[in-house]
Amino acid sequence: MIAPIETTLAGLRARTTAWRKAGETIGVVPTMGALHQGHLSLARAARDTCDRVIVTIFVNPKQFNNPEDLENYPRTEQDDAKKLESIGVDVIYVPDGAQMYPDGFATNVSVGGLTDMLCGAHRPGHFDGVATVVSKLFLQTSADKAFFGEKDYQQLQIVRRMAADLDIPIEVIGCPTIREIDGLAMSSRNLLLSDRARAKAAALPDVMEDMRVALAKGALMSDIVDVAKAKIIAAGFNDVEYLELRDSDQLKPLNKANANSRLFAAAWLAGVRLIDNVGVH
């Protein structure tokens, strides 16, 4: 059965209040739509561990630092509802802009430290937008558990910090990155790649995998990063925004892998910004 779509907070709360009264646990999967198997894996994880599952779809204008990117972001709501059918989610919450940010809205949730680096350094205001909308979604859904992809690992850590700092009683669960057959991390943005560009895109995870193996054997980032960037560019990418080894908790820079390190990358291919990360230990 196609899950009901709820567009108002009042409607959503009527449902969650009844669920809570019945003692049921609630899981939420926040998304911006254009759903793929990565999103569906989060919905499945929620379905497996919670009595009720809410998938939210909201293309959040506050987290886009580029108006063109917001304009071009794929919107496929009816298809999204169909894709969720087989998983059996209880409701799809699709608030509009006025519902989320009514006239006079003036609050910004800003997480310090973790937001200054990696994507945060290149997308000013992006993570404030994420933290603001996610804190609203946590409060609106009153969920017990929230499911996020490790694909956006920095976002996952920021959301964890935000929920802990604001005492929002929710468990934030990170789920593994789902990939295409050639290794490219699934992303709604992949839809924006031409066939030609798409054929080149797997160079990013390929190079990262080679780096992962080398780093796990003890190689130093400073010895391998320039060659790795050159390989990504040689494969057809236009720019490597960052390619860095960091610790998995505080995201502090590392030159050598330890038991808890991750390799992070962002690179531009034919006008599309792709990000990826992989655990290294």
Active-site positions read: 39
Spatial distance between the Cα atoms of 81 and 84, rounded to a whole number of angstroms: 5
CB of 277 to ligand AMP, least distance (A): 11
Q: Is the dihedral of CA 117, 280, 226, 265 positive or negative?
A: negative
CB of 63 to ligand AMP, least distance (A): 8
Give the one residue of 148, 201, 228, 269 binding ligand AMP; rule: CB under 6 A.
148
| Range in contact with ligand AMP (rule: CB under 6 A) among 76-84, 171-179, 249-257, 265-273 | 171-179
Whose tokens are 């209040």? That residue is: 17
With CB under 6 A, what is the number of residues at the site for ligand AMP? 17
| Range in contact with ligand AMP (rule: CB under 6 A) among 101-109, 173-181, 200-208, 259-267 | 173-181
Q: Which is nearer to ligand AMP, 38 or 205 (CB)?
A: 38
Task: Sheet with 239-247: list strands edge to edge.
Answer: 239-247, 261-269, 272-280
Question: Residue 178 carries which DSSP code?
Answer: P
239 SS3 class? strand
What is the bridge-based pairing of β-strands 239-247 and 91-93? unpaired
Q: Which is nearer to ligand AMP, 128 or 221 (CB)?
A: 128
Contact criterion met (CB below 8 Å) for 160 and 132: no
Q: Which is nearer to ligand AMP, 175 or 225 (CB)?
A: 175
Alpha-carbon dihedral angle through residues 51, 84, 173, 154, given to the nearest 10 degrees:
-160
| Range in contact with ligand AMP (rule: CB under 6 A) among 13-21, 35-43, 71-79, 265-273 | 35-43
* Interaction of residue 95 with ligand AMP, rule CB under 6 A: no
* Interaction of residue 38 with ligand AMP, rule CB under 6 A: yes
What is the bridge-based pairing of β-strands 171-175 and 145-149? parallel
Pick out residues in 177-196 that bind ligand AMP (CB under 6 A).
177-178, 185-188
Give the one residue of 44, 47, 145, 151 binding ligand AMP; rule: CB under 6 A.
151
128 SS3 class? helix
* Interaction of residue 136 with ligand AMP, rule CB under 6 A: no
Q: How far apart are the first and last CA of the chain?
A: 43
What is the bridge-based pairing of β-strands 261-269 and 239-247? antiparallel
CB of 185 to ligand AMP, least distance (A): 5
Sequence-separated (6 or more) residues with CB below 8 Å from residue 188: 32, 33, 34, 35, 36, 73, 74
* Interaction of residue 27 with ligand AMP, rule CB under 6 A: no
- One-letter amino acid at 104 equals G
Pick out residues in 195-234 that bind ligand AMP (CB under 6 A).
none
The CB-nearest residue to ligand AMP is 149
Contact criterion met (CB below 8 Å) for 240 and 233: yes
| Range in contact with ligand AMP (rule: CB under 6 A) among 13-21, 37-45, 77-85, 247-255 | 37-45
CB of 39 to ligand AMP, least distance (A): 5
| Site residues, ligand AMP (CB under 6 A) | 31-32, 38-39, 41-42, 148-149, 151-152, 175, 177-178, 185-188
